[in-house]
Amino acid sequence: MRGLSVFISDIRNCQNKEQERLRVDKELANIRTRFKNEKGLSVYEKKKYVWKMLYIYMLGYDVDFGHMETVALISAAKYAEKQVGYIVTSCLLNENHDFLRLAINTVRNDIIGRNETNQCLALTMVGNIGGKDFSESLAPDVQKLLLSSSCRPVVRKKAALCLLRLFRKNPDVVNVDGWSDRMSQLLDERELGVLTAVMSLLVALVANNPDGYWNCVPKCVRILERLTRSQDIPQEYTYYGIPSPWLQVKTMRALQYFPTIEDPNTRRSLFEVLHRILMGTDVVKNVNKNNAAHAVLFEALALVMHLDAEKEMMSQCVAILGKFIAVREPNIRYLGLENMTRMLLVTDVQESIKRHQAQIITSLKDPDISIRRRALDLLYGMCDVTNAKDIVEELLQYLTTADFGIREELALKAAILAEKFAPDLLWYVDVILQLIDKAGDFISDDIWYRVVQFVTNNDDLQAYAALKARDYMSKPAVHETMVKVGGYLLGEYGHLLARTPGCTPKEIFSIIHDKFSTVSISTKALLLSAYIKLLMHSQPSDPDLQEQIWRVFKRFEGNIDAEVQQRAVEYFALSRKGPAMVDIIAEMPKFPERQSALLKKTEDAEGDAAELSATRLRVQQQSSNAIVVVSQPSSNGSMFAGPLARTTSTPLDMNGELALTVTTMGQPQQTPSQSAAPVTADLLGDLLAPLAIEAPPAVSSPSELVSEQSSGDSSALALLDSTPSLQPIGSIKDWFHTLCFKDSGVLYEDPYIQIGLKAEWRAHQGRVTLFLGNKHVGALGTVRAVILPPAHLRMHLSTVPDTIPPRAQVQCPLEIINLQASRDLAVLEFSYSYGNVPVNVNLRLPIILSKFLQGVPLSPADFVSQWRALTGPPLKLQEVVRGVKPLTILEMSGLFSSIHITVAPGLDPNPNNIVAGTVFTSEARKTLCLVRIETDPSDRTQLRLTVASSDGVVSLELKEFIKEQLLDDSSTQQQMVAGPVSSGLSGPAAALAGLF
């Protein structure tokens, strides 16, 4: 194609980006004009322009026109045009583009037509960018092609993968009952191309429903036997002498989704195969052959782990991995480390892995960050009481040289391990102080709070900790976190060092005060508390020290920061009491006994929480980037693939409106992290807490102090109470909200679990299926799901299993019967644990009023007679709603149809008004509801809403529900004024208004 080549050459010859842009702009302008008078365009030209558009798009320029022309080419009669249309459409558009819907019919015709080439083109496009719409309308046709005996392999393999795509978009398109036998038959396929494609399909199906495809297990094992024995494998399907490594890997992957393999014969054959792979894989010179062979080997290792093989085979695996982590070849070493970490999760091989500790530590210093990460994960996973000291010290040592990419994770992991496995507490204090010293930026407050708690509760730790703190504080440059923890410890326990040289109260004060000018205001406040503690401990005070400290207090009594100011003033006043202040400002008490259980719990949970927050941090970074389409399954084949939740655009652009209703619907959901947040806010309360406990009531303390006391107290409690939690991958609110308008999608997702939801509604009944999908390679335990139904719903949840096996999905049906109209929401209390980290979430279920509505079209006569029959409150309710989101009438109709209220167009003669009808169904009866909205074209932010039905409760609830949907969340004051609107009604509308 000459024109295309010339254009590409032109671009290549551009000297700089600017020239390139000019050339591109010129071309785009040209194409645009040519497309405008399409009549004169030849087939050749059309093709040429569309290819050029793709090229420009690939260069990174926006191509925001010509989509129509491209999609139109799909329906061209000639193959050459059709081909270009299909290919370029697959690149330029994605499943959410509206243009794509226009093509569904053509695509379907190509699929069911007899032209094999067109079938292939259509299957390819649907397989690559088909969305839910395609799923619904094309799945049966695609299935037919896959099963057809008259189709050539080239069509059938495309059909298999196309079906896989459709299944990922909507798992309903493949019915397990009908498909397990068909899949089993398809696995008899001799043609390896088709078989490879079918195997990918099987992996997705089994991952979604491990129990549905048992009959495929023996077939898979037979395929593996055939491949590993090189029986009947055409030359073209061997890769460097290895029978299709891709099919081998896929087949073994499929087998990993079956919980176990019980049939002894099948199991035996499979183990023979696995044994042969484990023993028969050697390192060879040719890189590609070596990679392919090891790809198979690693998959075999994973399968062995999954199958819970005998001890002997397991230790074989560890031995192989041990060999791998020592090799020079980076890829193999990386995979050795990665697979050892996985192995830790599933089996009891800790001891044999420990033998490789030294080797793993070497990898921690590898120049390649990919390897370092794996080594860190593995060290973290294999750490226990026996090796904690070595591992943590190794991590600390590495911390000084580690680059930023890994420091944060390293610091967190070291802190967790130090706390979890500390052989003695002195060591623990050492580790944490070192950590703060070396990586202060990466130390979260939780970590230093922890160390303070330990020191407070252990008398024999206090002098030691104070001494250490003094040493660190004496350094010239100290991280602010160190100033906090050092200041705190020295204030509290500095007096214990009195006999140590260089530790008089005065010296300690000057060590701390040295840093005072460099720290933030909140740290200054903390230091003020430390000063008064110093003063208190040195009673009768050294007048010199007292003078110095008073000067500081005096200087800050006018500080702009209220907290600092208050402390300065109060401490000054208190310190003038002389020895009497000992009664007020006593030493921190131990955390009371009654809290010890809590403390313990926090200890465990917090230990792992930091890990979680490490993960969380990564997740947050990641999810801020757009690629993480939240609902994309992170592991193979988990359901609800695709952007169900996020990116699907509704036919009318209602995203705005959808968003605004969130805040008005029920309580705003607190994410777990938010609930844990207050902890960080002010720990300073801790310092004041003893005031509350120790101060005799007789002492006349300023009233502010009293309130301070209680808040201090509560924050100390909050510190203990806070169960650190896992961050969901995305917004619970958004998911909830999306599900209010859709019947399937994600309800919740975090790094370990995904909860999907699918709902069917029939009149007053509903059936919601919860899909609990374990995304992880370890089992999730103590799974609990409790439904808290509101009064108006009768709900029954079937049993939820206690554990979810690795990468498995569990379905839990929930039956719902609607008794009454209400806007209350049911809540799902969901909890599980991963390792020993408990995770609790409360999720609102999207069972909103509209789920029990069914829109009805109304004839004018029906409407008028009904409307007239219903008069006044409580049956007919009217309200002027202000602060609504400005919507056009069309958008508002769209909003109504999304909540199942059918607008009767033209029934109200005033084009600015809408009348609509719906039927609300409860167990007892159906209620016809009529709705009228009168908008004011001059001010779209207000409208009058009237709802009428034969049941007052229904009218009220429906009115409030609609109001919630209409309100604009940006208007903070949602004023409702009852009464009629006087403006804007004239002519026929006025006449009609009279009627109303």
Provide, rounded to whole angstroms, the least separation between the CB of residue 172 and another protein.
18
Query: If binding is defined by CB under 8 A, does position 467 make contact with another protein?
Result: no
Residues 302, 342 contacting (CB under 8 angstroms) = yes
Residues 293, 327 contacting (CB under 8 angstroms) = no
By CB under 8 A, name the one of 13, 30, 105, 117 that touches another protein: 117
Provide, rounded to whole angstroms, the least separation between the CB of residue 117 and another protein.
6
Rounded (10°) angle between helices 192-208 and 217-228: 140
52 marked as part of a ligand binding site:
yes
- Helix, strand or coil, per DSSP, at residue 826: coil
Question: Quick one: which segment of 212-220, 292-300, 588-596, 965-973 binds another protein (CB under 8 A)?
Answer: 292-300
- Helix, strand or coil, per DSSP, at residue 936: strand
Beta carbon nearer to another protein, 89 or 921: 89
Beta carbon nearer to another protein, 166 or 429: 166
Residue 541-580 contact track with another protein, rule CB under 8 A, x = bound: ----------------------------------------
Residues 242-271 interacting with another protein (rule: CB under 8 A): 244-247, 249, 253
Question: Quick one: which segment of 116-124, 394-402, 449-457, 762-770 binds another protein (CB under 8 A)?
Answer: 116-124
Q: In whole angstroms, what is the distance from residue 201 CA to residue 205 CA? A: 6
Query: If binding is defined by CB under 8 A, does position 237 make contact with another protein?
Result: yes
Provide, rounded to whole angstroms, the least separation between the CB of residue 323 and another protein.
16
Q: Which residues of 35-68 are buried (b: 16+ CB within 10 A; e: fewer)?
A: beeeeebeeeebbbbbbbbbbbeeeebebeebbe
Q: Compute how many residues bind another protein; rule: CB under 8 A.
A: 91
Query: If binding is defined by CB under 8 A, does position 373 make contact with another protein?
Result: yes
CA-wise closest residue to 617 among 406, 774, 779: 406
Who contacts 77 (Cβ-Cβ below 8 Å, separation ≥6)? none
Cis peptide before 579 (omega within 30 of 0): no
Beta carbon nearer to another protein, 117 or 975: 117
By CB under 8 A, name the one of 562, 597, 627, 861 that touches another protein: 627
Query: CA angle, corner 80, sides to 75 and 85, nearest 5?
Result: 45
By CB under 8 A, name the one of 607, 642, 730, 894 that touches another protein: 642
Residues 769-788 interacting with another protein (rule: CB under 8 A): 777
Provide, rounded to whole angstroms, the least separation between the CB of residue 470 and another protein.
42
Burial of 674 (0-12, 13-18, 19+ CB in 10 A): exposed
Beta carbon nearer to another protein, 519 or 777: 777
By CB under 8 A, name the one of 41, 176, 295, 573 that touches another protein: 295
Query: If binding is defined by CB under 8 A, does position 636 make contact with another protein?
Result: yes
- Helix, strand or coil, per DSSP, at residue 821: coil
In angstroms, how far is CA 958 from the centroid of its own chain? 33
> Is the four-CA dihedral 466, 472, 476, 478 of positive or negative sign?
negative
Residues 792-821 interacting with another protein (rule: CB under 8 A): 807
Residues 985, 676 contacting (CB under 8 angstroms) = no
By CB under 8 A, name the one of 10, 43, 55, 218 that touches another protein: 55
Q: What is the CA radius of gyration of the chain?
A: 35
Q: In whole angstroms, what is the distance from residue 689 CA to residue 716 CA? A: 7
Query: If binding is defined by CB under 8 A, does position 223 make contact with another protein?
Result: no
Provide, rounded to whole angstroms, the least separation between the CB of residue 508 and another protein.
46
CA-wise closest residue to 451 among 491, 482, 496: 482
Tokens 């439904």 map to which residue?
A: 787
Residues 333-352 interacting with another protein (rule: CB under 8 A): 333-335
Q: Please enumerate, as own/partner, the contacts of 403-406 that have beta carbons within 8 Å and a separation of 24 or more.
A: 403/369, 405/369, 406/369, 406/372, 406/373, 406/376
Provide, rounded to whole angstroms, the least separation between the CB of residue 197 and another protein.
6
Residues 549, 511 contacting (CB under 8 angstroms) = no
Q: Which residues of 503-541 are buried (b: 16+ CB within 10 A; e: fewer)?
A: bbbebbbebbbebbeebeebbbbbbbbbbbbbbbbbeeb
Residues 181-200 interacting with another protein (rule: CB under 8 A): 192-193, 196-197, 200
Question: Quick one: which segment of 28-36, 285-293, 445-453, 877-885 binds another protein (CB under 8 A)?
Answer: 285-293
CA–CA distance from 605 to each of 202, 428, 598, 838, 980 (Å)? 39, 17, 10, 7, 58
Who contacts 201 (Cβ-Cβ below 8 Å, separation ≥6)? 160, 161, 163, 164, 167, 183
Beta carbon nearer to another protein, 381 or 883: 381
Residues 757, 739 contacting (CB under 8 angstroms) = yes
Provide, rounded to whole angstroms, the least separation between the CB of residue 287 and another protein.
9
Residues 305-334 interacting with another protein (rule: CB under 8 A): 330-331, 333-334
By CB under 8 A, name the one of 15, 265, 282, 367 that touches another protein: 367
Provide, rounded to whole angstroms, the least separation between the CB of residue 340 and another protein.
15
Provide, rounded to whole angstroms, the least separation between the CB of residue 345 and another protein.
12
By CB under 8 A, name the one of 358, 560, 562, 626 that touches another protein: 626
Question: Quick one: which segment of 236-244, 346-354, 891-899, 939-947 binds another protein (CB under 8 A)?
Answer: 236-244
Beta carbon nearer to another protein, 565 or 636: 636
Residues 711-770 interacting with another protein (rule: CB under 8 A): 729
Residues 487-516 interacting with another protein (rule: CB under 8 A): none
Residue 120-149 contact track with another protein, rule CB under 8 A, x = bound: ---xx--xxx-x------------------
Residues 143, 155 contacting (CB under 8 angstroms) = no
By CB under 8 A, name the one of 27, 95, 437, 750 that touches another protein: 95
Residues 868-927 interacting with another protein (rule: CB under 8 A): none
Q: In whole angstroms, what is the distance from residue 488 CA to residue 144 CA? A: 74
Question: Quick one: which segment of 38-46, 93-101, 261-269, 811-819 binds another protein (CB under 8 A)?
Answer: 93-101
Burial of 190 (0-12, 13-18, 19+ CB in 10 A): exposed
642 marked as part of a ligand binding site:
no
Residues 164-183 interacting with another protein (rule: CB under 8 A): 164-165, 168
Residues 850-869 interacting with another protein (rule: CB under 8 A): none
169 marked as part of a ligand binding site:
no
Q: Which two tokens stand for residue 851?
A: 């789920």
By CB under 8 A, name the one of 239, 427, 516, 550 that touches another protein: 239
Question: Quick one: which segment of 57-65, 663-671, 754-762, 780-788 binds another protein (CB under 8 A)?
Answer: 57-65
49 marked as part of a ligand binding site:
yes
Classify strands 853-855 and 876-882 as parallel, antiparallel or unpaired: unpaired
880 marked as part of a ligand binding site:
no
Residue 585-624 contact track with another protein, rule CB under 8 A, x = bound: ----------------------------------x-xx--
Who contacts 784 (Cβ-Cβ below 8 Å, separation ≥6)? 800, 829, 830, 831, 832
Query: If binding is defined by CB under 8 A, does position 60 make contact with another protein?
Result: yes
Q: In whole angstroms, what is the distance from residue 116 CA to residue 126 CA? A: 15
Provide, rounded to whole angstroms, the least separation between the CB of residue 281 and another protein.
12
Query: If binding is defined by CB under 8 A, does position 693 make contact with another protein?
Result: no
Q: In whole angstroms, what is the distance from residue 638 CA to residue 586 CA? A: 58
Beta carbon nearer to another protein, 80 or 991: 80
Q: Which residues are annotated as a binding site?
A: 2-3, 44, 48-52
